[in-house]
Each structure stands twice: as structure tokens, then as C-alpha cells.
Chains A and B, each alone.
Chain A
Amino acid sequence: MSKKRIYAIVVAASLFTGYSAYHAQNKQELSDTLLANVEALTQDEDGIETADCYRYGSGSHASELASECDSRTSPNKMYVCPDHEMFMTRGLRGTCYKK
């Protein structure tokens, strides 16, 4: 085997090892982020703590102490609960999750 061929094989092997290591590291980082997110949302194995929130009731006078839902809240989506309660007319009821 000529020196040139051996040199080419070493360079190719180094490149492959380097790429694999980089790829593995990225994969690890991604999976760590995902894990952290899931962990934050599920709070270990106890599950995620939720609460009721309300949309502003239009044209109603029933003002009570309540948490206002994020405006994007829908039956399929929930967002983080607001950090404070306020006196508001309770319209439709939704769900939010506690930080």
C-alpha cells in the first residue's frame, strides 16, 4: 500500500469520526433540551398542575375574582396561567397550567 493511500484512509477515518462525534453531540443536546422541556411540563412524574381561567364575558355584569386566560387558549391548547388574579366578568371557562 502506498503512503498516499494510507494517508487518504487516515484522513477519511478522522473525518468520519469527527462527524460522528459532532452528530452524536448534537443529538445529545437536542434530546437533553427535549427532556428538560418535558420534565418542566410534567414536573417529574406528578404531572402538570392546571387551573381554571376565564375569558372576559362580553356584556355581562357578573364580575368576580378570576384568572384571565391567554387569548390563544382553545379547547385543544392551554397556556401558562397569569401571575395574578383580577376582578373580571367570567365568560367562557378554559384551562391554564401553572409554572
Chain B
Amino acid sequence: MGLHGIVDTQYILSIKPILLILKIMRLKLLLLVFCVAMSIIGCGPKKVFLGELETFTLTDDTISVRADSVPIELYRSFSFAVHDSLFFSCVTTRNENCLFKVFHAETGELLGSYFPYGHGSGEYLAVSPIMQLYEDEGQLKSLIYAPNENKLMKWNVTKSVRTGKTVCDEVIDGIDGRFSRFFYLGDETMLTYIASVHISANDRITQPKWQVRTYPANELVKEFAEYQSINNKKSKIIPENFFYVFSGMKPDMKRMVEAMLYLPQINIMNTDKAESKGYLMKGPDGYSIFHSDMAEAKEYYWGVQADDKNIFALWFGKKNTEENYVSGADELHVFDWNGNMVKRVKLSSPVHYMSLDTSKGIIYGWNEGRDRVYRYRVKGMNVNNHHKQMKQ
């Protein structure tokens, strides 16, 4: 027994450290495996689009539509917007005495000039393009931002056209220059966009961000980013433009659509939840382009507009050479608000910019080289058949 006891004790004495070593080794092994796995994950490609991303297939359902010409000359303009046959031309400052001209879209008659240019009182050095026109208490309004005067104005278009003067219902002072787009969301909130910029102090590219803020108090409610920024130093295109998106608000202000310039992708944003879902066209073009020198980068969408049922994105889909640019974009991609591609619409006259008059159901397009405005009727695009089929 005693011997046994001695043996047992020796056995225990010898086996315990071995077990302990094995236990530590096992833990170490687990730790090693964990570290390797983490480093593999860490070294892998970073997710650039931060929301949920789906793919869509380019539809074969194509229709060709013919344009009417509109008698408006947009020379010196860089963007425009149309609502209820009021045609708003955003004038490129300098040597012009106003920043917005309003025409009648049917006749081309100049109805007035608003937001005078200058350094004086009631004058502005620059204002934001019209991003959204909405009806409030039976009057047409738009949020206009004057970055140099740090003012955000609720422009009352109806009263301005009636009186021939620039009438603003509200003016909010002290809006700093980080913001470049403003959308009114109703219920005393607004959606603001902070574009990606280069920070020279540490050579950093910031993420483009959206913020939901209170209106008119201008307090932050929610902030979110859709893209991880990439500081690609070999790129021929400045990295702060990589995730440039065009944006269009649904008339009920509950959804917003974005169309990317450098990828065939649209994003649909839920403005209540402040989150986006992306829809990328199936094909060879993807996010890896942003790690190249961008010499072969194509420009995909040149604008986006929306009504209650559909999204209309102006498709270019080519490398932006001088020759390609002059020829313009001659196709619209139509989507529903679930991100399904509904139709391809071939335009008889190519355009460079577009705007949708939701009250009349007309898409206006401007051909920069010809300085001609064309209009296309949404009714003639047969895009609402899709919704009838979906209901059945």
C-alpha cells in the first residue's frame, strides 16, 4: 500500500505538470489560431460600401422614346430643376446679377431672377443648386444654402414668382461650410450631406456623411456614412470624388435614391431609419477600380430623379473622353423603390443633365453642347405596367 502510495504520489507528481503544460499549450494553440484568423480577416479587403449590398441584372425590357424641344436657353447654367412647369436654372455666378432664373417650361418665358449676386446686403456670392422642390401649405418651397454667408434659407418660390422678389420664409444663420446638400424631410427635420474632403494636415480623405438634423434648430439627430474612404495616391481622379452620388428625394420624403458616378450602383435610403441599401449592376465593374490608378474608370450615372413609383437614373456608362462627353447620355435606367430594374429607356436626343417634373410627369434633359432642352413624357415610357404586374 505504502509502495502504491509512493507510486501514486510520484504518478500524480509527474502527470500533473504534464497536464498543466498540455493545457497551457492547448490554450496557446487556440490563441495562435485566433491570432492567425484575426490577421487574415484584418488583411482582407475592407468593405467599402457599409450598407447591405445586392446585385441587379441589366434588363432586356427596352423602350425608345422621342423628345420634344423646349424653347429655353440654359447658357451659363450648370444645373436645373423643374416643378409644375416652372423651370429653375442655376446660373454659374460671375458677371451675372442673379443666381436663379425661373422660366415657364412650356413657353420659355422668363418669369424672374432671384438671389442676386454680390457682396452687399441681401446678395450672395454662391448658392447651392436646387436639390428638392416640395409643396408646403399649398406653396412651392426649396431649401437653399448660401455657403459664404453661412445661411440656410427656406425659399418660398410661389411668393417669389408672384411678387418678382426673393422671398424666404425662414433664414437660419451660422450654418458652417461642411454641408453641401439639404433636403427637407417634414416634421421639423432635414437631411444634410457632408461631402468627402481632403485634409491636407494629415493627408487624409474623409468619409462622405449624411446627417438628419432638426429644422430650424439645426441640431444633430443621426449621422451615418455609406462608404469607407480610400486614399488612393496613384489615382488620376481625386479620391474625394470616388463616391460621388447624385441624389433624388421621393415626393413623400420617406425614401431617397442615390446614383453613383463611378460605379453602376444605386442606393435607396430609408430617411426614417437613416440607413441605405445598395444595388450594384452584375458585371465586371466593382469596387476594385478604386484601388487602381483609375485611368480606365468609367462614369456610369449622370443624374437621378424620382417620383412616388419610380426612380429614373441617367445612364452614361462610358469612359469620360472628350468625344464620349460631347455625345452625351441617351439612356435612362428605371427602377422601382425596391431596387428592381424596371426598364431601359432609349432617348432620341442625348442629354447631359436631367430633372423630373413630378407634378406633370415630364423628364427634362439638357444637351450642353447644343444648349437645347428636351422633354420626355413618363407616360410614354410604359414604366407603370411593372407595378400593375407586381400587384397581380
- Residues of B114-133 whose CB lies within 8 A of A: 125-126, 128-129
Q: Nearest CB to that of B243 among chain A residues?
A: A62
Count how many chain B residues have C-beta atoms less than 8 Å from C-beta atoms of the other chain. Answer: 29
Kindly supply a per-residue 1/0 record for chain B positions 290-303, scoring 1 wherever the CB is within 8 Å of any chain A CB and 0 otherwise.
00000000010011
Listed residue (B177, B241, B353) with the most chain A CB atoms within 10 angstroms of its CB: B241
Complex alpha-carbon distance, A65 and B246, angstroms? 14
Measured between beta carbons, the chain B residues less than 8 angstroms from A60 are: 241, 261, 299, 320
A85 and B129 contacting across the interface, CB-CB below 8 Å: no
For chain A, the bracket of interface size reads 20 to 34
| Closest chain B CB from A37 CB (angstroms) | 24
Pick the 7 closest A-B CB pairs, nearest first: A62-B244, A59-B325, A84-B125, A86-B126, A84-B148, A65-B180, A62-B241
| Closest chain B CB from A58 CB (angstroms) | 8
- A50 CB–B CB distance under 8 Å: yes
| Closest chain B CB from A2 CB (angstroms) | 74
- A87 CB–B CB distance under 8 Å: yes
Complex alpha-carbon distance, A65 and B175, angstroms? 14
* Pick from B78, B148, B177, B320: contact of A63, CB under 8 Å: B78
- Residues of A49-66 whose CB lies within 8 A of B: 50-52, 54, 57, 59-65
B interface residues, Cβ below 8 angstroms from A: 78-79, 93, 125-126, 128-129, 147-148, 177, 180, 195, 197-198, 200, 238, 240-241, 244, 246, 261, 299, 302-303, 320, 322, 325, 352-353
Q: Besides the contacts A50-B200, A62-B261, A93-B238, what 16 more A-B pairs have beta carbons closer than 8 Å?
A: A57-B241, A60-B299, A61-B246, A61-B303, A61-B353, A63-B129, A64-B180, A64-B195, A65-B128, A65-B177, A84-B125, A84-B148, A85-B126, A85-B148, A90-B241, A93-B198
| Closest chain A CB from B21 CB (angstroms) | 60
Complex alpha-carbon distance, A92 and B239, angstroms? 11
A-B contacts counted at CB < 8 A amount to 63
Listed residue (A50, A57, A60) with the most chain B CB atoms within 10 angstroms of its CB: A60
Complex alpha-carbon distance, A76 and B368, angstroms? 34
| Closest chain B CB from A88 CB (angstroms) | 8
Kindly supply a per-residue 1/0 record for chain A positions 64-95, scoring 1 wherever the CB is within 8 Å of any chain B CB and 0 otherwise.
11000000000000000000111100111101
| Closest chain B CB from A6 CB (angstroms) | 69
| Closest chain A CB from B39 CB (angstroms) | 34
| Closest chain A CB from B17 CB (angstroms) | 64
Measured between beta carbons, the chain B residues less than 8 angstroms from A84 are: 125-126, 147-148
Complex alpha-carbon distance, A93 and B320, angstroms? 19
Measured between beta carbons, the chain A residues less than 8 angstroms from B148 are: 84-85
| Closest chain B CB from A91 CB (angstroms) | 8
A-B contacts, 11 listed (Cβ < 8 Å): A51-B200, A57-B241, A61-B261, A61-B299, A61-B303, A64-B241, A64-B244, A65-B147, A84-B147, A85-B147, A95-B200
| Closest chain B CB from A71 CB (angstroms) | 13
Complex alpha-carbon distance, A63 and B148, angstroms? 17
Complex alpha-carbon distance, A59 and B195, angstroms? 20
- Residues of A12-42 whose CB lies within 8 A of B: none
